[in-house]
């Protein structure tokens, strides 16, 4: 099997099959699909996956405990939770338990693929509303409203697309640039706004008006 191995965990067979079909032909490959987290923990003791995609109709704080068990069974695996009822408390509990992402289940396939790519590059992904609340509380270090801009029009455009979850390859195709050129712009953007990674740059963009909530919703459509 080639590609980034994804283990799908969801009690609804139709949802598991839909994700499997969508991932065909992408950089991700379905290693297996299971109906519950306990099965996944057992599976990970004898098998390997790079991402565990956990679907829950109702994500609760108590269920976050199971994420610790997943991480214990496979310390290098990245966990992404998809839920229909996500409170700020449950998302924070999932992240504290080791999840790399916590997202709503109403994502489009394209948006999900972009978010999985961000997770594989070492980013944390959360719903827009949670990022906005975090910014309002100024709880994320390294993101400051007073940071210098100094961005060119092209860099502003690329930053806007980064904030909408688009990977470099997609940005390059949309803007008719080479992927290498986009990477160079991204490095320049991180330097100019004085942040360490794409997630912090995206949050900086939201706070400084480079991208609006309506654009974020459109990027996930």
Q: Can you give the CATH number for the domain in which 165 is found?
A: 1.10.10.10
Residue 16 tokens, joined: 């598991």
Banded pLDDT at 218 (limits 50, 70, 90): very low
113 and 204, same domain (yes or no): no
Q: How many CB atoms lie within 10 A of CB 182?
A: 24
**Statement to judge: residues 118 and 148 lie in one domain:** no
Tens of pLDDT, residue by residue over 25-36, are: 899 999 999 998
- Residue range 120-152, pLDDT digits in tens: 888 778 776 555 554 444 344 444 443 345 777
Residue 175 is part of which domain span?
144-219
Domain boundary among 126, 158, 192: 126
Buried b (16+ CB within 10 A) or exposed e, 23-36: beeeebbbbbbbee
Report yes or no: 132 and 184 within 8 Å, Cβ to Cβ: no
pLDDT for 147: 39
Q: From CA 192, how far away is CA 121, in angstroms rounded?
A: 21
**Tell me: the pLDDT tens digits for 67-86?**
888 988 888 999 998 887 67
Work out how many domains the chain is built from and give that number.
Answer: 2
Q: What are phi and psi of 98, to 5 degrees?
A: 115, 0
Same-domain check for residues 115 and 10: yes
Q: Would you say residue 119 lies in a domain?
A: yes
């Amino acid at each position: 099997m080639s590609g980034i191995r994804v283990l799908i965990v969801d009690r609804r067979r139709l949802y598991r099959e839909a994700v499997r079909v969508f991932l065909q032909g992408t950089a991700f490959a379905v290693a297996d699909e299971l109906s519950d987290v306990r099965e996944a923990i057992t599976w990970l003791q004898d098998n390997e996956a790079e991402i565990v995609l956990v679907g829950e109709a109702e994500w609760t704080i108590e269920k976050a405990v199971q994420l610790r068990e997943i991480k214990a069974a496979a310390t290098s695996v990245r966990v992404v939770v998809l839920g229909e009822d996500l409170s700020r408390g449950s998302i924070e509990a999932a992240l504290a338990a080791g999840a790399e992402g916590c997202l709503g289940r109403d994502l489009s396939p394209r948006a999900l693929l972009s978010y999985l790519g961000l997770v594989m590059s070492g980013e944390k992904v959360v719903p827009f509303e949670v990022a906005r609340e975090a910014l309002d509380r100024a709880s994320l270090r390294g993101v400051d409203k007073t940071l210098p801009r100094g961005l060119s029009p092209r860099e502003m455009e690329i930053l806007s697309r980064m904030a909408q979850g688009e990977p470099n390859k997609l940005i390059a195709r949309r803007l008719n640039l080479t992927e290498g050129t986009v990477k160079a712009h991204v490095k320049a953007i991180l330097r100019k706004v004085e942040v360490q990674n794409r997630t912090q740059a995206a949050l900086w963009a939201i706070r400084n008006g480079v991208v609006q909530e309506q654009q974020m919703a459109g990027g996930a459509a």
